Amino acid sequence: MPLDRFLLASNGFAHHLRAVPPDGWDAPTPCTAWDVRALVNHMTRGNLNYIGLLRGATREEFLSARDADALGDDPVAAFAESVRACAAAFAEAGALDRVVDYPLGKLTGRRTLAVRTTDSTVHTWDLARALGADDTLDPGLVEWIDESYDDIFAGLALNSRVFADPPACAPGASRQDRLLTRFGRDPR
């Protein structure tokens, strides 16, 4: 089930990635420091870095490789390959129980995969917004992240883009909008 959620989130991102027009790679995203190409690189490099964590990489190694280009000349293929390799690494015997040196704290592989799935889901919205596409996230993923948030992020040193106590949402905001607000997005 944890791997299925990761693949579902990754497929949502890939759906939008395949729709990036040739002149769309430098379009801005809701992550103001990144254009579309940088966002896609973050996702692709992130998948590769999570494999490194499972194989014993340190948080320092994870962080030092975070911005290295992982896209080459074919970002769509690079992302697809990174998802396949990341899923294979998490599917290895014992991977979900292994403790890794994640940058925000020591985590089991299971929690690391939950963080990766959450990141993939939120960044799917970022990519959809950058492309002006339908930004509706998979409702099952939104529900799972919302209900599991405390378990996923318990004890981690959260940053300014992830809020333990989310800012107030507009009255009647959807579950997706509340979740996005919790991750520093403005869903309006």
Q: What is the pLDDT of residues 39-84, one digit of tens each?
A: 999 999 999 999 999 999 999 999 999 989 999 999 999 999 999 9
Other beta carbons less than 10 A from residue 178's beta carbon: 16
Q: Is the pLDDT of residue 168 over 90?
A: no
DSSP state for residue 92 in the 8-state scheme: S
pLDDT in tens, 2-47: 999 999 999 999 999 999 999 999 999 999 899 999 999 999 999 9
Contact predicate 173/159, CB 8 Å: no
Taking phi over 0 as left and psi of -120 to 50 as alpha, with beta for the rest, 67 belongs to: alpha
Q: Which pTM does this prediction carry?
A: 0.93
Mean pLDDT, residues 151-156 taken together? 87
- Which amino acid belongs to residue 117? T
Nearest to 117 by CA among 142, 147, 88, 150: 142
Sign of CA dihedral 177, 14, 147, 66: negative
Tell which residue, 49, 50, 42, 48, has the closest CA to residue 17: 42
Q: Which of 117, 131, 161, 132 lies closest to 36, judged by CA?
A: 131
Chain-centre distance of CA 35, in angstroms?
16
